[in-house]
Amino acid sequence: MNGDAAGVEPNLLSEFAGQRDAKIAWTADAESDLLRALEHRQLDIVIGGLTNSTPWSKHVALTQPYLTLDGEEHVMAVPQGENRWLLELDRFLQNHRTEALRQFEGERQ
């Protein structure tokens, strides 16, 4: 992907990475290809409008919902077995729920 991704989830992920002095290498692809790569530990996190009803929930670990829009609970995905990574991301997202909603509402306007 050329350049940086934009929107609520990329903004959240950029802040999360920044707090850890981590760099993001953005990858754009079909959801199934991204989640398959995550399942095979070729990626660390997948974002992009995932909801907790994704059929991939048996193959990857999902965060707790951090944003509910139109009845859909949005989540991010990490590889299964990465419990500490999931916990850190979950804590971050839960602490930024209000910010995420505010950003999304700003995008809708």
- pLDDT bracket for residue 108 (50, 70, 90): low
Residue 2: its pLDDT value, please? 43
How do residues 82-92 score in pLDDT, each as one tens digit? Answer: 999 999 999 99
Residue range 8-108 forms a domain whose CATH class is: alpha beta
Residue 95: its pLDDT value, please? 94
Render 25-50 in DSSP notation, one character per residue: ------HHHHHHHHHTTS-S-B-SS-
Give the predicted TM-score (pTM) of the model: 0.89
- Bridge-based pairing of strands 60-62 and 77-79 is antiparallel
CB distance 88 to 76 below 8 Å? no
* All structural domains of the chain with their residue ranges: 8-108
Output DSSP code: residue 76.
Answer: -
Q: Which two tokens stand for residue 81?
A: 């077995």
How do residues 2-45 score in pLDDT, each as one tens digit? Answer: 457 888 899 999 999 999 999 999 999 999 999 999 999 999 99
Residues 6 or more apart in contact with residue 86 via CB below 8 angstroms: 61, 63, 78
